[in-house]
């Protein structure tokens, strides 16, 4: 009979052997995986080096030498023969007019890529940029070594940095058709329901929609620690250029870019002024004179109501919990997506960002639910076929009904995106008030303008006062310059050439607006906050000439004459202060076909808010050290610095 103890020992040994085999198998598997990873990394690095070194081949169509000159001679001979036949009145004369098509040939040209730092394995040149407080400072520093146009590899992404104003114009204006793409990052696809061009998304009441473009645009920019504040292009901002994107821009243009003489401009002014009345009433209830107060949530709610009233003809009470939560979520997203993330250039890090993306998705879903339930659903039930168009929402719903190519997805993306633009303006206003608290003389000069044009506070400031308040407008521009809001990066859609250097398809192109905004080459004392750098003086005759046949010229001239005390005796000699025109190196809204479509909304609403706050209050801070602005950043945290409001003593 077999000994049970011996059998147990044997059995135990067998179990131990199986465990050893399992551990060894896992070790071998890990070793194989590590080897494969190293091999893959080496292969990828050699590919990066190849892309870094290789020349760009571009096929061009060229006319054969001498063909153009021969065609000119033939055309001249034909013209002479025609004139001779006409002079002789010979109707039967036959003159050969047909000119052969120019003989063309294709030519393959090779261009070297722009110089730049040699990429490191895995990281590319990310480590170099990590040495600077913001990467665009690094871009500027590298330009001193490699020139105004240079290449840089971030992770595995080939990039081109453009620093010079002339080169920027060459990229965005002269060659804009080759740079109409946007970065093809994993996060963008996830944020747009799997397709950043948002053409295939199927809308559901609680499915994941894209974030609004205003914020997505910020998302890209601060992936490189930068933001471009104001491209209110709807879902256009991160989509590649296409006929669909052009249609969306055309649909939104009259609402988001109202001309001074349009009814939409008048509505914009009226909406802004009325909301400021309600804002002031709310502020009076909660503020303690002279005491620091967390004013940002209230400012964000006022901005949200301006956008909602202007675009949807509906506003919400400041105590509405759903509205307050929606505004907070918008602001949380706006701040979060203005932070830097490595995952866009190192996509293998995506699993480590899963929790963060889920958080953003939750905020976005709550925003979407509010818009659907409180705005869209109610409007669809009341919109009649024969009713005149009241606002942007009506225009979207009408286009959905009349244009088969417009889908419900399209209008939902656009409405959510454009409503989200209020976050950008709210953050801009907070930055402006922060700078005014740090520089009281700026606020005092704005208040002098306000008192002059409102006759001591007899009325509110409106949009039609902008020509008479140049220093206030200049302050907004200085905030934009000082925060150095960059231009949204572009992507080359085909192999092309810039300044004699080849650019490969898929290259991400950074427009270094930081250099334009902070360089001593363009600005005197660029580190000093000084709105007067945007001002100049002109005679009334010059101003009258510049206004020309503008629909509001008469009204603007009347306001300027009144506020500056101009009479027939001094109109030829008095110099009138105004905002400088056409500063070529100041591009806060970009240039080219993808310029910001909502820049009038930005300037208009921010002007109304800042002017009407300073008309009634002095803005200060009891602790200037807690007013923190972030370099090259146009966002401040949702729970940011406090400000002290005291009613003015006139």
For residues 494 and 195, which has the higher predicted lDDT (pLDDT)?
494
DSSP 344-375: TT-GGGGGGGHHHHHHHHHHHHHHHHHHIIII
CATH number at residue 349: 1.10.630.10
Q: Is 121's pLDDT higher than 70? A: yes
How do residues 268-318 score in pLDDT, each as one tens digit?
999 999 999 999 999 999 999 989 999 999 999 999 999 999 999 999 999
Greater confidence, 416 or 201?
416
In which band, very low, low, confident or very high, does the pLDDT at 610 lie, cut at 50, 70 and 90? Answer: very high
Residue 275 in domain: yes
Q: What is the pLDDT of residue 241?
A: 52
Burial 469-488 (b: 16+ CB within 10 A, else e): bbbbbbbbbbbbbbbbbbbb
Mean pLDDT, residues 476-503: 86
Task: Check residue 107 and give its pLDDT.
Answer: 77
Indicate whether 458 belongs to any domain.
yes
User: What is the tens place of the pLDDT at every residue in 212-235?
Assistant: 333 333 333 343 333 333 333 334
Tell how far CA 343 is from the center of its chain: 21
Average pLDDT (550-557) is: 73
Strands 157-162 and 508-511: parallel
Residue 152 is predicted with a pLDDT of 94
Higher-confidence position of 210 and 24 = 24
Q: How many structural domains does the chain have? A: 2
Q: Is 60 exceeded by the pLDDT of residue 582? A: yes
Which pLDDT tens digit goes with each residue over 157-192? 899 999 989 999 999 888 888 888 888 776 666 555
Q: Minimum mean pLDDT among 239-248, 333-342, 361-370, 444-453: which range?
A: 239-248
More confident site: 230 or 35: 35
pLDDT at 76 over 70: no
Q: Is the pLDDT of residue 564 over 50?
A: yes
What mean pLDDT do residues 96-119 have?
73
Cα 225 from Cα 134, distance rounded (Å): 6
Q: How confident is the model at residue 482 (pLDDT cuts 50, 70, 90)?
A: confident
Tell me the residue range of the domain where 40 lies. 28-56
Is the predicted pLDDT of residue 428 greater than 90, yes or no? Answer: yes
Tell me whether residue 532 is in a domain: no
Q: In the listed set 41, 56, 71, which residue is the last one of a domain according to the structure? A: 56
Q: Read off the pLDDT band of 69 (50, 70, 90).
A: low
Instruction: Count other C-beta atoms under 10 Å from residue 105's C-beta.
Output: 10
CA dihedral 32, 36, 41, 47 (to 10 degrees): 160
Average pLDDT over residues 566-590: 83
**Bridge partners of residue 576, in order along the sequence:** 538
Residue 432 lies inside a defined structural domain of this protein? yes
Q: Is the pLDDT of residue 637 over 50?
A: yes
Distance (Å) of CA 605 to CA 321, 418, 430, 478, 581: 24, 14, 13, 16, 21
Residue predicted with more confidence, 128 or 359: 128
Percentage of residues in the chain with pLDDT exceeding 90? 33
**Chain-wide mean pLDDT for the chain?**
79
Whether 456 shows a pLDDT value over 90: the answer reads no
User: Who's near 297: CB < 8 A, 6+ residues apart?
Assistant: 324, 327, 328, 331, 638
136 or 17, higher pLDDT: 136
Strands 508-511 and 576-579: unpaired
- Summarize the confidence of residues 439-452 as an average pLDDT: 96
Of 74 and 559, which is predicted with more confidence?
559
pLDDT above 60 for 130: yes
Binding residues for heme are: 596
Which pLDDT does position 433 carry in this prediction? 97
Of 44-58, 182-196, 337-351, 602-616, the poorest mean pLDDT is in 182-196
- Answer whether residue 293 is part of any domain: yes
Q: Give the mean model confidence (pLDDT) for residues 384-410.
A: 77
pLDDT at position 402, please? Answer: 79
Helices (H) and strands (E) in the chain, counts: 22, 13
pLDDT score for 200: 39
Q: Which of 56, 74, 95 is at the close of a domain? A: 56
How much is the pLDDT for 233? 37
Is residue 207 in some structural domain?
no
Residue range 81-96, pLDDT digits in tens? 545 544 444 444 444 4
Name the residue among 277, 252, 170, 354 with its Cα closest to residue 616: 277
Q: What is the mean pLDDT of residues 450-474?
A: 92
Q: Are strands 576-579 and 535-538 parallel, antiparallel or unpaired?
A: antiparallel
Residue 231: what pLDDT? 33
Can you say which residues are annotated as belonging to the binding site? 596
């Amino acid at each position: 009979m077999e000994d049970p103890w011996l059998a147990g020992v044997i059995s135990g040994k067998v179990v131990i052997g199986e465990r050893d085999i399992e551990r060894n198998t896992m070790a071998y598997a890990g070793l194989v995986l590590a080897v494969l990873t190293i091999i893959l990394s080496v292969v990828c690095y050699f590919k990066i080096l190849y892309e870094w070194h290789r020349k760009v081949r571009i096929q061009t169509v060229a006319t054969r030498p001498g063909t153009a000159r021969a065609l000119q001679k033939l055309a001249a001979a034909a013209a002479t023969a025609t004139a001779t036949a006409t002079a002789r009145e010979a109707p039967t004369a036959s003159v050969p007019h047909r000119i052969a098509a120019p003989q063309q040939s294709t030519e393959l040209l090779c261009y070297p890529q722009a110089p730049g730092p040699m990429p490191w394995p895995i990281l590319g040149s990310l480590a170099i940029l990590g040495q600077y407080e913001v990467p665009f400072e690094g871009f500027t520093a590298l330009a001193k070594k490699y020139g105004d146009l240079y290449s840089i590899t971030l992770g595995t992404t080939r990039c081109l940095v453009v620093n010079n104003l002339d080169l920027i114009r060459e990229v965005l204006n002269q060659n804009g058709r080759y740079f109409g793409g946007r970065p093809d990052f994993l996060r963008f696809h996830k944020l747009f329901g799997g397709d950043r061009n948002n053409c295939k998304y199927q809308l559901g009441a609680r499915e994941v929609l894209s974030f609004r473009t205003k914020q997505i645009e910020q998302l890209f920019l601060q992936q490189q620690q930068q933001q471009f504040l104001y491209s209110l292009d709807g879902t256009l901002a991160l989509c590649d250029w296409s006929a669909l994107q052009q249609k969306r821009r055309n649909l939104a243009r009259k609402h988001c870019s109202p001309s001074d003489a349009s009814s939409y401009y008048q509505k914009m002014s009226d909406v802004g002024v009325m909301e400021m009345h309600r804002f002031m009433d709310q502020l009076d209830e909660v503020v303690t004179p002279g005491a620091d107060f967390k004013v940002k949530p209230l400012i964000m709610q006022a901005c949200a109501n301006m956008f909602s009233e202007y675009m949807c003809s509906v506003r919400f009470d400041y105590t509405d919990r759903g509205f307050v939560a929606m505004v907070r979520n918008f602001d949380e997203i706006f701040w979060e997506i203005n932070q830097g993330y490595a995952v866009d250039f190192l996509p293998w890090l995506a699993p480590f960002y899963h929790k963060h993306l889920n958080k953003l998705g939750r905020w976005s879903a709550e925003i979407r639910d509010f818009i659907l339930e409180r705005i869209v659903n109610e409007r669809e039930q009341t919109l009649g076929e024969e009713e005149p168009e009241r606002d942007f929402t009506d225009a979207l719903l009408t286009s959905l009904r009349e244009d088969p190519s417009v889908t419900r997805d399209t209008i939902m993306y656009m409405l959510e995106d454009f409503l989200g633009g209020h976050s950008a303006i709210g953050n801009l206003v907070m930055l402006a008030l922060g700078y005014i608290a740090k520089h009281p003389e700026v606020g005092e000069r704005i208040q002098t303008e306000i008192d002059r044009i409102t006759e001591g506070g007899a009325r509110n400031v409106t949009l039609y006062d902008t020509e008479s308040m140049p220093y206030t407008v200049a302050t907004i521009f200085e905030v934009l310059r000082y925060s150095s809001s960059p231009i949204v990066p572009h992507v080359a859609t085909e192999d092309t050439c810039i300044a004699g250097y080849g650019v490969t398809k898929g290259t991400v192109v950074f427009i270094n607006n930081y250099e334009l905004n902070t360089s001593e080459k363009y600005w005197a004392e660029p580190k000093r906050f000084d709105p007067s750098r945007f001002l100049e003086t002109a005679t009334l005759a010059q101003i009258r000439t510049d206004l020309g046949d503008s629909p509001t010229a008469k009204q603007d001239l009347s306001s300027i004459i009144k506020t500056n005390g101009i009479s027939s005796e001094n109109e030829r000699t008095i110099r009138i202060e105004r905002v400088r025109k056409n500063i070529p190196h100041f591009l806060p809204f970009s240039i080219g076909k993808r310029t910001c479509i909502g820049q009038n909304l930005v300037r208009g609403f921010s002007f109304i808010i800042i002017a009407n706050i300073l008309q009634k209050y002095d803005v200060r801070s009891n602790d200037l050290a807690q007013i923190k602005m972030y370099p090259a950043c146009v966002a401040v945290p949702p729970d940011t610095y406090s400000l002290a409001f005291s009613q003015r003593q006139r």
